[in-house]
Amino acid sequence: FSTIDHCIDILIGRRLAICAGPLLYFSEGHLPEWLGDGGWEFEKIREAAYEFISRIVTRYSRYIHAWRVISGMNANNHFGFNFEQMIEITRTACLAARSADNKSRKIVEILFPWGEYYAKKKKTVPPLVYADMVIQSAISFDAFAVQLLFGKDRPGMHIRDMMQISSMLDYFAAVVKPVHITGVAIPGQSMTDDQDGRVAGEWHRGWDQSLQSDWIEQFYKIALGKPFVNSITYSNLADTDKNDVLGSGLLTEGFEPKETFHTLKKLQKLLLTRQKKV
């Protein structure tokens, strides 16, 4: 825990509300080797998940304001859980987190909210079906989260215009829980391969820092204009080759601020000023 402990020590000194997670994410590349090798029955996985979440949440309960307790169960189902098991593992995650700390907020995160994965990936469910069933199953949690990553030739990551984004977010208006956008990313430069604009999509022209800044400003204004959207977290602080969307950072690889950094700083200042007036 040394690396996480060091990060927590730095963040709490800045009096920030910390959101951590995801605690459970059943995607092949994010599972420990001992679990990802297979051969585990559902009950054993559920028990291991409960113990893991209880341990982590208990350790950091003094510092974490909100937990993403489970992420992407709608789209990433490495173990091939059936629908009832998907709901049950979601319930287990929320129950373990709440039992360990009943003060922090418990968030269920939905990935790829456009639902394109459902046409090709077996043992998945459409995003809003999953959200509805989590609510109908009386699972104790506080909010939903969605991630919106754009700029890749992959299902759910192609460029969308602002009307499409606004329309998709409006689907969540019927969900009786607040929504947090826990990840958003858009390129700040033209790229090649699966981020080539000819296959991943473009918005007005090829990507550059100025266009990235304009896109982010419009996106934040539209999303925060929805009464059910409580917060937005940008995905990548700085450019690295490990980012899901390359070139999407607010800072360059040398940690120089991009136009987008200044745009978000301006929006944050505007929001804080309005809150003080209210």
> Which residues of the chain have a pLDDT value below 50?
none
Q: Tell me the domain boundaries of the chain.
A: 17-277
Query: Quick one: pLDDT at residue 50?
Result: 97
Query: Quick one: pLDDT at residue 100?
Result: 96
Query: Quick one: pLDDT at residue 39?
Result: 74
Query: Quick one: pLDDT at residue 36?
Result: 65
Query: Quick one: pLDDT at residue 16?
Result: 82
17-277 falls under which CATH superfamily?
A: Glycosidases (3.20.20.80)
Query: Quick one: pLDDT at residue 274?
Result: 74
Query: Quick one: pLDDT at residue 187?
Result: 95
As a three-state string, the secondary structure of the chain is CHHHHHHHHHHHCCCCCEEECCCECCCHHHCCHHHHCCCCCHHHHHHHHHHHHHHHHHHHCCCEEEEEEEECCCCCCCCCCCHHHHHHHHHHHHHHHHHHCCCCEEEEEECCCCCHHHHCCCCCCCHHHHHHHHHHCCCCCCEEEEEEECCCCCCCCCCCCHHHHHHHHHHHHHCCCCEEEEEEECCCCCCCHHHCHHHHCCECECCCHHHHHHHHHHHHHHHHCCCCEEEECCCCCECCCCCCCCCCCCECCCCCECHHHHHHHHHHHHHHHHHHHC
Query: Quick one: pLDDT at residue 71?
Result: 97
Query: Quick one: pLDDT at residue 13?
Result: 81
